[in-house]
Structure 1
Amino acid sequence: MAERVKQRPSKARGRPPLADDDLVDEIKAIISEMPTYGYRGVHAILRRKARSEGRPWPNAKRVYR
């Protein structure tokens, strides 16, 4: 059992990260139009836009990062 504890997992666990390129481009476009908005305002705009297009909106934590 001691050998098994010392052994590292061979594969990373969890979900792979999502590609952020499109999200970053959308955020930059919103910030260029409204530079005083914080992440909450930007997230609200992204949420409204995604809802009107019928797609899922991004998590606020991803917008904040």
Structure 2
Amino acid sequence: MSHRKNEITRREREVLRLAASGLTDKGISGKLGISTSTVSSHMRSILLRTGSVSRTQAAVRVFSR
């Protein structure tokens, strides 16, 4: 699967959606069946790809497109 540098993956979008709904990394990891370090890795990638400094800013940028 090829993604441009600034586009987030389907899984990253799912992680961001859950974060935007108020779940913690632990809550997201439990919901998706992945480790909290994987959630953190996805969030770092999301922030980098969207040029955001917070989860809230990333969510606004991704979901208001």
Q: TM-score, normalised by structure 2?
A: 0.40
Bigger relative CO (Cα 8 Å, ≥ 6 apart): 2
Pick the structure with more helix per residue.
2
Q: TM-score, normalised by structure 1?
A: 0.40
User: Max radius of gyration: which structure?
Assistant: 1
